[in-house]
Chain A
């Protein structure tokens, strides 16, 4: 690390702190149905959406109705993506005549984009037409992000409202997230990215004769508009196979910095939105601080490991070691899953920290919305444990936390953990699981562990040596992505519904304060204990043992 790297690290954190309050406040206003300066240019679009959809956006939904509309919308999303990939060959905007996608890959990709995972078993530039990319995949980039924010907001309402069943209107939350937050930011980022050299065109691929007289085919496409939302929506699905390492997706150090910032922008601001909507600003900052603290520590460890033993394999010259590892930390903390370096070629401990980031459940800023609601699970668990220690019914922001809520919380925390471990275990001992590996021994195990962590945490990055575009992995990972998304969203909406019905209990001297650094320490403790106890054995078999074997100079 040199002074420039340190400067980038610091500036990145400072920019997050500066942008969180205005953007967070703006989102709080949007979801509370208040007017903002973006209403006069855009409100007609919002109204048009409701009219086209035939929905009454003012109607409050109880948690079951909210969950039902959300699930229906997502199932429809999966069907649409699946069928249009199967029809690709006969649709327009397909200058390269890309044929129909294989059925198992189409299922995997459909689930992947709808669950905000954007795991990719395929290579964009040789599989997907421009039409499939921009009109189906990119639309789910918007919508899956909007669904994530909607859930976070619905849960927030459950905490703030009292003695009512309603937790908001799903269609209104979805529409507002897309029209007022995601779309305007995407437009700004698209323009910034094209200015750096990201391609945005409908021309067909171009054949050129290189300087040494060899034919080279240069891929094209409407990439910038998709890359902007891929980062802002923490989706991470690359337009091209090499994702953000591809010079057409991420041409310069500045485009790289902007993309990393785009990943954390909304998740960081949502902590402010949360504090603002619950009228517990300081608590919001404590959540922000907890996330940032975890991020700084884990990222520093990862950087330290790579600067000790890292090599340039799988890294781009313009990013070097610092920006490759920093990006890997951002993308795995935030459930984004875009990569600007091949994670499989990172030093074992850096790769291990990427896996650990995902195993924690993507709560270090995390996915848009998903990071906040994932963190809320751990907050409720912490409050509950603190309550048990002093022998009182735990309260959180004036709401009593009881057995019913805790059952749902624990289900949402444990289901993904179980899927990661069971999925990895089955694949590590079965021939169809092992036949896809590129690397051998501990690193091969890490490839599988990474795949299931990434799919379940809805991250989508990969130790891409694993050839996952085979029926076994396409189906297994689809299941993992579904559990990782919906086994958290549904229990949480139930918690929201249950909390909304409760009365507000006034704070007393026995109430555990959640806006102190002490709470942040406890919270970090709970997160690390759950993460470490569950996953340390698996991590030992993969990255940790590989680290020691590497030091001994062993290869496989």
Chain B
């Protein structure tokens, strides 16, 4: 299926991004593939926190963060209760309709 989510970039511009769920991507990879500038140092192992996003809408519909993601978020100076690591979110129906703001380091 195709899901839609709203993505706010670092300049505050919001766009709707369409993503297919069949490709087995995580949100970090999908955002990079959609042209967003995300450093993703560790490549998706929840070890660098450079794909930090703030979930502005739909936080409750996401699967709960696992310990390693929470550990990493704890190390960030600017993480909030609505922070997630994009690399730990699988692109599937749980992301449909959410809004995220990109917070992590630029490339």
A, B assembled together: no
Chain A interface (Cβ < 8 Å from any Cβ of B):
none
Chain B interface (Cβ < 8 Å from any Cβ of A):
none
